[in-house]
């Protein structure tokens, strides 16, 4: 909405520049190739939009300052301008937007669109598949998965809010040597232990044996070779191996599903490497026949990557077994057959950048045109202040443990403040605060950057955190309840945006009007931190406004109506933004 007003002003200024050129120079062609730049002034008192006129000074044979004066005179003479005030700021023509008119438009838009406000149609003709999470079935989810899940779920929500048809997919890495490591350790040391007999969540139990294999491997130099032999037995369909594989996979997936439910993660389709690796293997065989790939003397199949400035890459081992790359080839092909997409976004850590560069190239060499629409959203690593995690050494930060710890910390805070009666369901509220803290902290950093997750910092009710934002929504909700209970309704009074003339109110109105553009930018950049930064900015502005000015006790009923309506507009926008980054809304905290 704010962007549309800026573009109206841009079109108006451009037209008057051309009129002025025609009038003073005799022809407007002299400036037709000079773009009119739109900027934001550094201070609110300088206006809301700035048009630098440096580039136009030479063809007009005058200084930028004098050109600004001429242009303002021309604009004022026309009388047909968007609502606002023209300001001369040296070589800049600035505009102070009339927020009274904007506030009235904004109120109508938010009242009519409610939870749809901020959504755009910028991607209405796009079918986008988003792959994220992709756990291994040899261990539980950890902190790295939580960042992956938060980014993937948020990106999907943001793309959908921009009109895209979004399909969320998960690839379960349930085959390979790493899976056989857990299986082999269980066969040697498990003694028929089950999740039920040990009272250990299934994914945690299997993960324990992955760690146990790493310990055993140090004692027995043949351990890895035995795991590779087991993989060959599994691919050959050995009944005993397949049965164990199915059982341990089921334990892990049941446990991971519980974590997904707790953290609000969902998918439209699950893919399993055990179902797609054969298709990948067949496609590699086809590529070999077509001389796209070549075979080494030991029987392994490779691709020469000189075309993209790399060396070479193995696609099938000498014993014919598949690698990650092989199965990813099959998975990509199966997905496009199942749900023909315009683009597919892989949310995977940046340490896999080489892998995806090769995968996309292989698919293009196999003749799949849609391979040019595959994208790797390479996010940075996440660790705790103590340092890097290593799952094989059992030093990862477990997702379940971290979430439960955050929920317990939130519960302690509620009890210490004596708020248990206000929040009613302490456990549910604590888990909502934990999820808000987790998702916000993980998403406030640009996905491309590495980050350190600090649990205590994430739960703070002060500063740039999820609980602070949730509290802002709860605070406005509480104020509205007080208004309803007061018995002095102003519902019959019409909203009048012209009463919101404080600078703080102008800034809030402009921010709310910019929400649509923010949602669009987050989709363009594939960056949820655009939304988190916006949320914090709006919350910070509203907090100051709420603290400095009376709302329910304003000096007139019309002003109460205006300020209360502005507050409820803020609340609606907060809630809509919460949805995009996985922050639960709480009416009480």
Q: What's residue 391's pLDDT? A: 46
Query: What is the Cα gyration radius of the chain?
Result: 30
Whether 264 shows a pLDDT value over 70: the answer reads yes
Decide if pLDDT at 389 tops 50. Answer: no
Whether residues 164 and 84 share a domain: the answer is no
In a domain, residue 88? The reply is: yes
Close Cβ partners of 161 (under 8 Å, ≥ 6 residues apart): 118, 119, 120, 519, 523, 580
pLDDT exceeds cutoff 70 at 394: no
- Please report whether residue 589 resides in a domain: no
Using DSSP, state whether 89 is helix, strand or coil: strand
Q: Is the pLDDT of residue 55 over 70?
A: yes
pLDDT for residue 303: 97
pLDDT band at 542 (very low <50, low <70, confident <90, very high): very high
Asked if residue 457 and residue 384 are part of one domain, the reply reads: no
Residue 548 and residue 439 share a domain: yes
356 in the same domain as 448: no
Residues 234 and 346 in one domain: yes
| CA nearest neighbour of 145 among 153, 449, 324, 159 | 153
Spatial separation of the C-alpha atoms in residues 82 and 1, rounded to whole Å: 14
* Average pLDDT over every residue of 459-467: 91
Give the residue numbers spanning the domain of 318: 132-393
Does residue 256 contact residue 141 with C-beta atoms inside 8 Å?
Answer: yes
Last residue in a domain, options 363, 393, 423: 393
Q: Contact, 173 vs 144, CB < 8 A? A: no
The answer to whether residue 126 sits within a structural domain is: no
Q: For residues 61 and 150, state if they share a domain.
A: no
Which band of pLDDT confidence, cut at 50, 70 and 90, is reported for residue 239? very high
- Domain contains 511: yes
Q: Is the model's pLDDT at 30 over the cut of 80?
A: no
Asked whether residue 106 is assigned to any structural domain, the reply reads no
Pure H helices in 236-368: 239-263, 273-289, 324-338, 353-365
What are the C-alpha distances in Å from 586 to residues 100, 157, 165, 504?
31, 20, 29, 25
Asked if residue 565 and residue 424 are part of one domain, the reply reads yes
- Which pair of structure tokens corresponds to residue 251? 């334990």
CB 327 within 8 A of CB 389: no
The pLDDT of residue 385 is: 80
Residues 346 and 408 in one domain: no
Residue 116 lies in a domain: no
Lowest mean pLDDT among 253-262, 336-345, 454-463: 454-463
Question: Which positions ≥6 away from 71 have C-beta within 8 Å?
Answer: 13, 16, 17, 20, 53, 93
Is residue 387 scored above 80 in pLDDT?
A: no
**Total number of domains in the chain:** 3
What confidence tier does 388 reach under pLDDT thresholds 50, 70, 90? low
Give the number of residues written for the chain: 589
On the question of pLDDT at 395 being above 60, the answer is: no
**pLDDT for 78:** 84
Helix 557-581 and helix 426-443: axis angle, to 10°?
Answer: 70
Out of 41, 70, 97, pick the residue that ends a domain: 97
Residue 386 has pLDDT above 80, yes or no: no
Q: Using a pLDDT cut of 90, give the percent of the chain over it.
A: 85
pLDDT band at 315 (very low <50, low <70, confident <90, very high): very high
Same-domain check for residues 526 and 549: yes
- Weakest-pLDDT range from 180-184, 255-259, 419-423, 481-485: 419-423
Q: Which of 97, 117, 143 lies at the terminal end of a domain, its last residue? A: 97
Q: What is the CATH number of the domain that holds 36?
A: 3.30.1360.70
Mean pLDDT of 115-121: 97
Per-residue pLDDT, averaged over 523-535, amounts to 98
Does 477 lie in the same domain as 555?
yes
**Taking residues 104-118, what's their average pLDDT?**
97
Same-domain check for residues 151 and 253? yes
Q: Is residue 66 in some structural domain?
A: yes
Residues 419 and 388: beta-carbon distance below 8 Å: no
SS3 label, residue 348: strand
Instruction: Output the domain CATH number for residue 487.
Output: 1.10.730.10
CA–CA separation, 412 and 47 (whole Å): 47
Mean pLDDT over all residues of the chain? Answer: 94
What is the pLDDT averaged over residues 467-492? Answer: 93
Helix (H), strand (E), coil (C) string for 376-396: EEEECCEEECCECCCHHHCCC
Q: Give the burial string for 345-378 (b: 16+ CB within 10 Å, else e).
A: bbbbbbeeeebbebbbbbbbbbebebbebbbbbb
Q: Is residue 229 part of a domain?
A: yes
> Could you write out the DSSP letters of every residue in 249-278?
HHHHHHHHHHHHHHHT---SEEEEHHHHHH
Query: Can you tell me the mean pLDDT for 509-536?
Result: 97
The more confidently predicted of residues 192 and 32 is: 192
Do both 368 and 425 map to the same domain?
A: no
- List C-alpha distances in Å: 43 to 40, 106, 205, 540, 545: 9, 23, 58, 17, 18
Q: At 201, which CATH number?
A: 3.40.50.620
pLDDT value at residue 82: 87
140-161 pLDDT tens trace: 999 999 999 999 999 999 999 9
178-235 tens-digit pLDDT: 999 999 999 999 999 999 999 999 999 999 999 999 999 999 999 999 999 999 999 8
CA–CA distance, 361 with 368 (Å, rounded to integer): 10
């Amino acid at each position: 909405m704010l962007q549309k007003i800026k573009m109206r002003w841009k079109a108006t200024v451009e037209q008057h520049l051309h009129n002025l050129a025609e009038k003073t120079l005799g022809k407007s062609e002299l400036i037709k190739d000079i773009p009119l730049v739109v900027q934001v002034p550094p201070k609110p008192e300088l206006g809301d939009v700035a048009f630098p006129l440096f580039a136009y000074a030479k063809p007009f044979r005058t200084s930028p300052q004098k050109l600004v004066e001429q242009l303002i005179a021309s604009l004022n003479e026309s009388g047909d301008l968007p609502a606002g005030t023209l300001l001369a700021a040296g070589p800049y023509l600035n505009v102070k937007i009339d927020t009274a008119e904007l506030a009235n438009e904004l109120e109508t838009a938010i009242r009519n669109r409610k939870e749809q406000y901020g959504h755009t149609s910028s991607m209405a003709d796009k079918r986008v598949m988003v792959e994220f999470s992709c756990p291994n079935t040899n261990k539980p989810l950890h902190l790295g998965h939580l960042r992956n899940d938060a980014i993937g779920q948020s990106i999907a929500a943001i793309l959908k809010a921009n009109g895209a048809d979004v399909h969320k997919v998960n690839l379960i890495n349930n085959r390979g040597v790493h899976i056989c490591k857990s299986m082999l350790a269980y066969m040697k040391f498990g003694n028929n232990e089950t999740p039920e007999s040990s009272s250990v969540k299934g994914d945690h139990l299997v993960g324990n044996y992955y760690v146990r294999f790493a310990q055993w491997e140090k004692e027995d130099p043949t351990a890895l070779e035995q795991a590779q032999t087991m993989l060959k037995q599994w691919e050959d369909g050995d009944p005993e191996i397949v049965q164990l594989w199915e059982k341990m996979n089921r334990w892990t997936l049941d446990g991971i599903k519980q974590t997904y439910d707790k953290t609000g993660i969902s998918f439209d389709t699950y893919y399993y490497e055990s179902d797609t690796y054969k298709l990948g293997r067949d496609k590699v065989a086809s590529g070999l026949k077509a001389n796209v790939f070549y075979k080494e003397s030991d029987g392994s199949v490779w691709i020469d990557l000189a075309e993209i400035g790399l060396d070479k890459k193995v696609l099938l081992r000498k014993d014919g077994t598949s690698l990650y790359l092989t199965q990813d080839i099959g998975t990509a092909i199966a997905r496009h057959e199942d749900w023909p997409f315009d683009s597919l976004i892989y949310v995977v850590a940046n340490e896999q950048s080489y892998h995806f560069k090769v995968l996309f190239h292989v698919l293009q060499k196999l003749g799949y045109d849609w391979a040019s629409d595959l994208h790797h959203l390479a996010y940075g690593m996440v660790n705790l202040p103590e340092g890097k995690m290593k799952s094989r050494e059992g030093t990862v930060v477990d997702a379940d443990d971290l979430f439960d710890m955050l929920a317990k910390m939130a519960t302690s805070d509620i009890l210490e403040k004596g708020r248990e009666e206000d929040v009613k369901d302490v456990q549910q509220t604590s888990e909502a605060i934990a999820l808000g803290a987790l998702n916000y902290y993980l998403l406030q950093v640009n996905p491309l950057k590495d980050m350190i997750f600090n649990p205590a910092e994430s739960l703070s009710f002060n500063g740039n955190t999820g609980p602070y934002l949730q509290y802002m929504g709860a605070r406005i909700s509480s104020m509205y309840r007080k208004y309803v209970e007061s018995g002095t309704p102003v519902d019959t009074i019409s909203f009048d945006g012209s009463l919101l003339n404080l600078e703080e109110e102008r800034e809030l109105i402009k921010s709310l009007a910019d929400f649509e553009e923010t949602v669009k930018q987050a989709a363009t950049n594939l960056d949820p931190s655009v939304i988190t930064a916006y949320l914090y900015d709006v919350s910070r502005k509203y907090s100051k406004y709420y603290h400095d000015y009376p709302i329910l006790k304003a000096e007139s009923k019309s002003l109460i109506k205006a300020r209360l309506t502005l507050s409820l507009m803020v609340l609606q926008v907060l809630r809509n933004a919460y949805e995009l980054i996985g922050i639960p809304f709480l009416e009480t905290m």
